[in-house]
Amino acid sequence: MTLQARRPTFDWEHTPLHWIPDEPYATHANNTLHLLAPVFERGLIALYKEVLPRLKDERLRQELRGFLAQEATHARAHDQVLAWMREHGLETAPFIAACERDWQAFAGDTPPLGVPAEAWLRWRLALAAAGEHLTCVVGHWSVSTDALDRAGADPEMLAMLRWHGAEEVEHRAVTFDVLRAVAGPTAYPLRVAAMVATLPFLAGLWNRAVAYMLANDPLLRGRTFGRRDYQALLERGLAPGRAILEAVARYMHPAFHPDQEGSLELAQGVLAGMTRRPAL
Ligand SMILES: [Fe+2]
Ligand SMILES: [Fe+2]
């Protein structure tokens, strides 16, 4: 399978800020993707451009190039959503700047004092593979759930989430295979340790991103949200919830490979529908 970037365009002109009607909490819970993904995706691009020349397997090199093209397109599309949010009075730049700093400390290109460069590079590859496992899980959720449709989610925003989600399923194995190629027998302990570090890191960012948007949303002045809203979100299936923890448990198995995760058939069905859209 050759990975290719599709570059569909989306029209937000008629999309309301609360694009899941009367569901500001669920809207912003899903908007976290627009805030966090570009930071993660740009980090991946810098990392894998560094690693690409070391890979000997031509098929893997080809897949990695396709993966990088897809991630670059995702980051650009999310930036467009952030600009659209800004037009609606929700400015996210301060949060994203803080998120960039956190990412650099967590997985940036400068090794912490005393850590050899090669060990740091392998650790970053393991962190990236853990992150990509989680984006595959969220991606599969977005293409397989009907909860967002039932809640009346805006079709353009839904199409955007599903395009990104489907490509995450499509390229689910690339970072895992690169880790195995570079780290060899140390890939397994590295990936387990990296998942243990990645899950709380991303969960913390997710929480902060939701809280930031709820606090800065111009339509929500004075409204407060809490644990009950989070529980209602999960009960109504408007976020993946438990599926993430189950997927983390699968990832820890020594025989795990991402080809077992999500549904490629479903993802490619979504992507086939995208070709009708004009290109970015
Ligand atoms: Fe992506
Ligand atoms: Fe990805």
pLDDT digits (tens, 9 = 90+) for 45-83: 999 999 999 999 999 999 999 999 999 999 999 999 999
- Token pair for residue 38? 């570009």
Q: What count of Cα atoms within 13 Å lies in the side-chain half-sphere of residue 41?
A: 24
Residue 8 lies in a domain: no
Alpha carbon of 168 to ligand 1 centroid (Å): 6
- Token pair for residue 67? 């993966």
Domain count for the chain, please give it: 1
Q: How many helices (H) and strands (E) does the chain have?
A: 11, 0
CA of 41, nearest ligand number: 1
CA of 66, nearest ligand number: 2
Identify the band that residue 2 occupies on the pLDDT scale cut at 50, 70 and 90: confident
CATH number at residue 116: 1.10.620
CA of 75, nearest ligand number: 1
Task: Tell me the average pLDDT across 261-276.
Answer: 90
Residue 145 lies in a domain: yes
Whether the Cβ atoms of residue 205 and residue 36 lie closer than 8 Å to each other: yes
Select from 29, 149, 51, 46 the least CA-distant residue to 104. 46
Tell me the C-alpha to C-alpha distance, in Å, between residue 110 and each of 42, 113, 115, 116, 224.
15, 9, 10, 10, 39
280, pLDDT greater than 60: no
CA of 174, nearest ligand number: 2
Alpha carbon of 248 to ligand 2 centroid (Å): 16
Identify the band that residue 273 occupies on the pLDDT scale cut at 50, 70 and 90: confident
Alpha carbon of 229 to ligand 1 centroid (Å): 27
pLDDT digits (tens, 9 = 90+) for 77-118: 999 999 999 999 999 999 999 999 999 999 999 999 999 999
CA distance 32 to 212: 10
Residue 206 lies in a domain: yes
Whether the Cβ atoms of residue 85 and residue 34 lie closer than 8 Å to each other: yes
Run of H or E including 44: helix 24-51
Q: Supply the range of the domain harboring residue 238.
A: 24-274
Q: What percentage of the chain carries pLDDT values higher than 70?
A: 98
Tell me the C-alpha to C-alpha distance, in Å, between residue 48 and each of 54, 151, 158.
10, 38, 29
Task: Tell me the average pLDDT across 217-234.
Answer: 93
Alpha carbon of 175 to ligand 1 centroid (Å): 12
CA distance 135 to 240: 11
Residue 208 lies in a domain: yes
Residue 13 lies in a domain: no
pLDDT digits (tens, 9 = 90+) for 8-35: 999 999 999 999 999 999 999 999 999 9
The pLDDT, as a whole number, for residue 279 is 64
The DSSP symbol for 111 reads P
Residue 279 lies in a domain: no
CA distance 121 to 197: 16
> What is the total residue count of the chain?
280
154 Cβ neighbours under 8 A, 6+ residues apart: 15, 16, 19, 20
The pLDDT, as a whole number, for residue 129 is 98
Alpha carbon of 164 to ligand 1 centroid (Å): 6
- Model's pTM, two decimal places? 0.95
Residue 19 lies in a domain: no
The pLDDT, as a whole number, for residue 1 is 73
Alpha carbon of 56 to ligand 2 centroid (Å): 22
Task: Tell me the average pLDDT across 167-188.
Answer: 98
